[in-house]
């Protein structure tokens, strides 16, 4: 499968977010990954729908909103109204029946839904959800912060998932040119990366290196 790169804006410079986003877009980004954290499901607070609304004005690339929040159902519509093209929800917060319900609603709006799972959450927890999701986001760090180290024990999970799921598999956390290769060989085709791209002095080179692992 062709590799797609999703820069996570968490490591962008928020004092010049528009320019960082435009730079990443012209450097070859395929979509943007926006980390929404509530200080409850994860120990950090980041971005709300109002920011997504402004990001929507400066790029035409798809926006994937990664909801690391408790009670995501309450906020999904706000993020869709703000311009999200993809909504990623954690199985730990929404459960299979909640996901099925939201999948039907989002399909009517032309928004893709993805399910995410933490490194310690077994694949069994999302098996029954796979038929309702367009993509899966496998967390390769414990969610909350960018700049953490890739947890290699998620690789067998990606491999097992690829054997049963034909859609997009994204991997999120600790992605660099080395871990990207491992994740790709295991079956992931969307690479989410914050620090590797935004902390580099050449976004184009960083994105090309990630794409070249395929």
Instruction: Point out the residues that are catalytic.
Output: 35, 172
38 in contact with Zn ion (CB under 5 A): no
118 in contact with ligand DX5 (CB under 6 A): no
- Return the closest-CA partner of residue 99 out of 66, 73, 70, 67: 73
Q: What angle do CA 166, 76, 95 make, to 5 degrees?
A: 60
Q: What is the rounded CA–CA span in Å between residue 34 and residue 53?
A: 12
Ramachandran category for residue 26: left, alpha or beta (phi over 0 → left; psi -120 to 50 → alpha): alpha
72 in contact with ligand DX5 (CB under 6 A): no
Shortest Å distance, C-beta 117 to ligand DX5: 12
Could you tell which of ligand DX5, Zn ion, none binds residue 194, using a CB distance below 5 to 8 A set by kind? ligand DX5
172 in contact with Zn ion (CB under 5 A): yes
**String marking each residue 119-158 x if it binds Zn ion according to CB under 5 A:** ----------------------------------------
66 in contact with Zn ion (CB under 5 A): yes
20 in contact with ligand DX5 (CB under 6 A): no
Residue in 72, 114, 173, 187 binding ligand DX5, rule: CB under 6 A? 173
168 in contact with Zn ion (CB under 5 A): no
CA distances from 49 to 61, 77, 126, 214 (A): 17, 10, 26, 34
Q: Which residue intervals of the chain are DSSP H helices?
A: 17-26, 49-58, 76-81, 91-108, 124-127, 155-164, 177-186, 195-198, 203-211
Shortest Å distance, C-beta 60 to Zn ion: 21
Report CA 65 to chain centroid distance, whole Å.
Answer: 7
7 in contact with ligand DX5 (CB under 6 A): no
144 in contact with ligand DX5 (CB under 6 A): yes
Which residues are CB-neighbours of 161 under 8 A, at least 6 positions away?
A: 123, 136, 138, 169, 187
Pick the stretch among 48-56, 71-79, 154-162, 172-180 that binds ligand DX5 (CB under 6 A).
172-180
52 in contact with ligand DX5 (CB under 6 A): no
- Binding residues for ligand DX5 (CB under 6 A): 8, 10-11, 33, 35, 66, 141, 143-144, 146-148, 172-175, 192-196
């Amino acid at each position: 499968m062709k590799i797609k790169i999703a820069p996570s804006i968490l490591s962008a410079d928020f004092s010049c977010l528009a320019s960082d986003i435009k730079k990443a877009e012209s450097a070859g980004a395929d979509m943007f990954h926006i980390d929404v954290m509530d200080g409850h499901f994860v120990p950090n607070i980041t971005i709300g729908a109002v920011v997504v609304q402004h990001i929507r004005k400066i790029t035409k690339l798809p926006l994937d909103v990664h909801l690391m929040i408790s009670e995501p159902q309450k906020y999904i519509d706000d993020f869709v109204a703000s311009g999200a093209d993809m909504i990623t929800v954690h199985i730990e917060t929404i459960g299979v029946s909640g996901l099925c319900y939201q999948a039907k609603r989002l399909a009517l709006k032309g928004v893709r839904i993805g399910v995410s799972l933490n490194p310690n959450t077994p694949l069994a927890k999302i098996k029954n959800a796979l038929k309702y999701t367009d993509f899966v986001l496998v967390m390769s760090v414990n969610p909350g912060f960018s700049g953490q180290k890739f947890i290699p024990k998620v690789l067998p999970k990606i491999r097992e998932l690829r054997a049963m799921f034909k859609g997009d598999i994204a991997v999120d956390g600790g992605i660099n040119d080395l871990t990207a290769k491992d994740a790709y060989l295991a079956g992931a085709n969307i690479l989410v990366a914050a620090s590797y791209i935004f902390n580099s002095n050449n976004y184009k080179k960083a994105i090309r290196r990630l794409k070249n692992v395929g």
